[in-house]
Homo-oligomer: A and B are copies of this chain.
Amino acid sequence: MGEESKITIGNKPLIDYIVSLAILFNQGIRRIIIRGSGDKISKAIAVYNALKERMGDAVKLNDVRIGSENRRGRMVSYIEIVVEKVL
């Protein structure tokens, strides 16, 4: 039922996020948002790059959103990378 899902990048090894993404796509999720904020922004992009390298044309970049949000009174930058499974 859920066509969209979100993965927030944290401290786990990069490969763990690739595995999670692959599982979600296999479960029928079509669109996944890879979200990283603060010092996890570059890791979010690294996750996307590693996913793209492994899945190639089976996955496509749908959108990249950037911005900042207030977190406990401090402005923190974020990135949201929207990837879609190509049917």
Answer yes or no: A71 CB below 8 A from chain B CBs: no
Contact B64–A65 (Cβ < 8 Å):
yes
In the assembled complex, the CB of A19 is this many whole angstroms from the nearest CB of chain B, namely 19
- Identical copies in the complex: 2
By a beta-carbon cutoff of 8 Å, the part of chain A in contact with chain B is 38-39, 41-42, 45-46, 48-49, 61, 64-68, 75, 77-79, 81
State which of B67, B75, B78, B81 has its C-beta within 8 Å of the C-beta of A66.
Answer: B81
Contact A66–B48 (Cβ < 8 Å):
yes
State which of B41, B48, B61, B81 has its C-beta within 8 Å of the C-beta of A45.
Answer: B41
Contact A45–B75 (Cβ < 8 Å):
no
Chain B minimum-CB-distance residue to A67: B49
